[in-house]
Structure 1
Amino acid sequence: MTTDETGRFRTTHVGSLPRSPELIEQNRRYQDGEIEWDELKSALPGFVDDIVGTQRDIGVDIVNDGEYGHIMPSAVDYGAWWNYSFSRLGGLTPSTEDRWASTEQKRSSPGNVVLTSFSDRRDRERFRDAYEDPSSGVLAHRTPTTQPKITGPLHYTGQDAAATDIANLQAALAAHGGGEGFLASLSPGSAARVSNDYYASDEELVYACAEAMREEYLAITGAGLTVQIDDPSIAESWDQVNPEPTVEDYLAFTTLRVEALNYALRGIPTEQVRFHLCWGSWHGPHTTDLEFRYLIDLMLTIDAGAYSFEAANVRHAHEWKLWRDHPLPEGKRIVPGVVSHSTNVVEHPELVADRIEQFASLVGRENVVPSTDCGLGGRLHPSIAFAKLESLVAGAKIASERLF
């Protein structure tokens, strides 16, 4: 993400945007084997053109393809950001295990941190009645999702899919006035959260993921686009360790993942890399989230030019004050969430402006790119999601008028 002289705040979002019913149906048919990849591939350019046009019409500056190349076969989907990698990595064997029931087997993990099943999260234990009540809104309409197992050497097989994502975004950008575009790609740490029956140690596993996913990072940045590294594992995995570890042990576990990511990013210009940290996309209480104060310094060691993080989420909205005591390194930018993906309430533009101004007062107005907390697609009704983008843009305009 490069700095420009627009004299205002430029807006963006985290990645996933709502799919149309037609695209969801195409995704479903492809996943169920009713159509081949070539048929889906031929339909994607039109869908991507539409969503880039929608972003431009709303006024979003730094746009993407809506993550439309990441298969999402249902309107509510919390896992497409991760599941897409299953079809782009070799060394995986299909499994019948629901990822909410399976347990990851980690070996020789730093700090002896072992991730439990998704259903054993500590937040879920505390609020089990709410999590298991389909009317509570916590995990309504969750579609069971199977995850594969690692049974052989990991390697990247998604060259055609990545090239399709790149070509579709480039064509849509050209058709809608150009500008800066980004594509989301999975981090090594998050890619490593599948069951492992092959690698002897956690370190071997994470670095194998880094070597494989590096090919996708290189393809995206080599095409002149920005790669967004999606890495909820940095923060979210804390809740998936049961019983609760010490912060020191967890940071040792997480540091390995950061080091592997930097290894995967070696040689890539930092201005073409932005990193996304979040505490997960489900609409739960999140009382067991790890506080950002434990992660901020580690995040800033990642070789990225910009850092995206949740800041509108009511569990983390107070943490903007951390930037008083954690100076932003020279040449870096922050991409704070100023509208949330976890509530149907559409933020007032004045609130959005206030949040932007808070960050600008601490890191400098030129270093703030207002954004969403996380992806909106698959988490919110499309009409609400697009209203939130409109509020984001309106709030950024108000803040720009005040500060530029």
Structure 2
Amino acid sequence: MCQNSVHHYEIVGSFLRPESLKKAREEYAAGTISEDELKVVEDQAIRELVAKQKEIGLNVISDGEFRRSYWHLDFFWGFNGVEHNVMDQGYLFHGEETRADSARLTGKISFNPHHPVFEEYKFLTEIADRTPVRQSIPAPAQLLAELIRSDNEEKVDAFYPDRELLYQDIAKAYRETILALHALGCRDIKLDDCTWGMLVDKNFWTTMTNGEYDTQALQDLYLRLNNDAIVDLPEDLHVTTHVCRGNYHSTWATSGGYEPVANTLLGNQNVEAFFLEFDDERSGDFEPLRFVPKEKQVVLGLVTSKDGKLEEKESLIKRIKEASKYVPLERLSLSPQCGFASTEEGNILTEEDQWKKLSLVIDVANEVWGSTN
């Protein structure tokens, strides 16, 4: 996994946006401050976030995704051939609907040497002062899912009547972006991926497909896209993936254990570690972990990021031991189940709650794996 996996505690990456940043974004959207003025606020918020992450003892840090509105869409908009569009309806979560932003094609997809992710990474490493950083990006499969969502697919039909060429271009654009990040010094990349979380929910999927629940062909396609994007990368580049079932304003999109996708995802995706959501009964049991190859690691997302109530330490330790029946303890780590703000709205908890959650993760990891982590 990442070069710091010996510590056995991890973060998923996004953090609650401070009020100063929320206010600046509102002012920028209203046209009362410039892009440069917004960036000054973003820079300061990220500096303060990095200092706090170091203060509590995190061994790998992020920029909190403070320059993004969404965990995935902003990244998609950075490719050549992809634009920001607004649909008639947002994503439907349990009890809530997101904003209606999306991503659709304006032409063939290709690598953009001026993609915003490069400036995001460079600024973070400059202020990290040798503390390892992890760059989170949405998975290639997630881009495909967005491009064929509802009316977006009309643009795909226009530019890619041969879908095979679309799959090749997605993988190529991703791989070139990842290699460009590596050239800047990046050695730790995480692919965030909700596509598998959609496939595990039989009720969700049968509704989407008018009663059918045979997802193997789509699983194979998602696996191919993700693996093709990370084939033949430099040996010192560590690639992991995070899989959840939706995380928006403390709500969720789908339910179900990993069993329906475990053989394909856990058994065959060519990443070094899987960050997996296990914070409640919706996530199922640990049995699907039997598919994880012996050389790979699993980060157990046992601590929910959806509310501020602290989990019982003893309960977390018990669940870690349960998971170790399928993956040896030395190949397990602990983390929150997802980020604290997959979109700029953030989950419904306070910044104090957020840091208490992460301190709990560190405390439990030290108790289970030893304080010398």
Which category of TM-score, normalised to the shorter sequence, fits these structures?
0.7 to 0.9
User: Is 1:85 the equivalent of 2:75?
Assistant: yes
Aligned equivalent of 2:217: 252
Q: Could you tell me which of 219, 230, 235 is aligned with 2:180?
A: 219
Q: Provide closer, same or farther for how the CA distance between residues 21 and 201 of structure 1 changes in structure 2, counting only shifts above 3 A.
A: farther
**Structure 2: gaps (5+ residues):** none
- 3-state SS, counterpart of residue 52 of structure 2: helix
- 3-state SS, counterpart of residue 11 of structure 2: coil
**Structure 1: gaps (5+ residues):** 73-79, 101-117, 125-130, 132-137
Amino acid of the structure 2 residue aligned with 1:281: N
Distance 1:245 1:402 in 2: 51
Equivalent pair of 1:354/1:399 in contact (CA under 8 Å): no
* Deviation for aligned residue 1:20: 0.8
Amino acid of the structure 2 residue aligned with 1:260: L
1:255-274 superposed matches below 5 A: 255-269=220-234, 272-274=238-240
1:238-287 deviation digits (Å, cap 9, x = unpaired): 5365246644x31211211210111111222475101111111145576x
Distance 2:331 2:132 in 1: 16
User: Is 1:391 the equivalent of 2:360?
Assistant: yes
Equivalent pair of 2:2/2:188 in contact (CA under 8 Å): no
Q: Provide closer, same or farther for how the CA distance between residues 245 and 369 of structure 1 changes in structure 2, counting only shifts above 3 A.
A: farther
User: Is 1:369 the equivalent of 2:333?
Assistant: yes
Distance 1:169 1:341 in 2: 23
Equivalent pair of 2:5/2:333 in contact (CA under 8 Å): no
Distance 2:83 2:116 in 1: 19
Aligned equivalent of 1:134: none
Distance 2:298 2:115 in 1: 32
1:48-94 deviation digits (Å, cap 9, x = unpaired): 22112212222222221111232x3xxxxxxx112212431232345
Equivalent pair of 2:4/2:59 in contact (CA under 8 Å): no
Percent of residue pairs bearing the same amino acid type? 21
Equivalent pair of 1:350/1:398 in contact (CA under 8 Å): no
* Deviation for aligned residue 1:373: 1.1
Equivalent pair of 1:61/1:180 in contact (CA under 8 Å): yes
Amino acid of the structure 2 residue aligned with 1:380: I
* Deviation for aligned residue 1:13: 1.3
Q: Provide closer, same or farther for how the CA distance between residues 5 and 150 of structure 1 changes in structure 2, counting only shifts above 3 A.
A: closer
* Deviation for aligned residue 1:219: 2.9
Equivalent pair of 2:82/2:104 in contact (CA under 8 Å): yes
Aligned equivalent of 2:287: 321
Distance 1:84 1:255 in 2: 26
Distance 1:402 1:61 in 2: 13
- 3-state SS, counterpart of residue 358 of structure 2: helix
User: Is 1:54 the equivalent of 2:52?
Assistant: yes
Aligned equivalent of 1:235: 197
- 3-state SS, counterpart of residue 147 of structure 1: strand
- 3-state SS, counterpart of residue 71 of structure 2: helix
Amino acid of the structure 1 residue aligned with 2:133: G
Q: Provide closer, same or farther for how the CA distance between residues 273 and 245 of structure 1 changes in structure 2, counting only shifts above 3 A.
A: farther
Distance 1:356 1:395 in 2: 10
User: Is 1:305 the equivalent of 2:266?
Assistant: no
Q: Provide closer, same or farther for how the CA distance between residues 86 and 32 of structure 1 changes in structure 2, counting only shifts above 3 A.
A: farther
Equivalent pair of 2:240/2:274 in contact (CA under 8 Å): yes
Aligned equivalent of 2:119: 164
Equivalent pair of 1:306/1:335 in contact (CA under 8 Å): yes
User: Is 1:331 the equivalent of 2:295?
Assistant: yes
1:196-236 deviation digits (Å, cap 9, x = unpaired): 31322554434333222333322333313311101111222
Q: Which moved more, 1:151-160 or 1:227-236?
A: 151-160
Distance 2:234 2:286 in 1: 27
Q: Provide closer, same or farther for how the CA distance between residues 191 and 199 of structure 1 changes in structure 2, counting only shifts above 3 A.
A: same
Amino acid of the structure 2 residue aligned with 1:185: I
Distance 1:285 1:5 in 2: 28
1:4-403 superposed matches below 5 A: 9-70=7-68, 72=69, 80-100=70-90, 118-119=91-92, 138-139=95-96, 144-157=99-112, 159-174=114-129, 178-192=130-144, 193-194=146-147, 195-196=152-153, 197=155, 198-222=159-183, 223-236=185-198, 239=204, 242-243=208-209, 246-247=212-213, 249-269=214-234, 272-282=238-248, 283-284=250-251, 289-300=255-266, 301-316=268-283, 318-323=284-289, 325-326=290-291, 328-377=292-341, 378-381=346-349, 382-401=351-370
Distance 1:400 1:244 in 2: 47
Q: Provide closer, same or farther for how the CA distance between residues 203 and 278 of structure 1 changes in structure 2, counting only shifts above 3 A.
A: farther
Distance 2:365 2:124 in 1: 24
Distance 2:5 2:141 in 1: 35
Q: Provide closer, same or farther for how the CA distance between residues 5 and 95 of structure 1 changes in structure 2, counting only shifts above 3 A.
A: closer
- 3-state SS, counterpart of residue 224 of structure 1: coil
Distance 1:355 1:179 in 2: 30
> So what's the TM-score if we normalise by structure 2?
0.83
- 3-state SS, counterpart of residue 216 of structure 1: helix
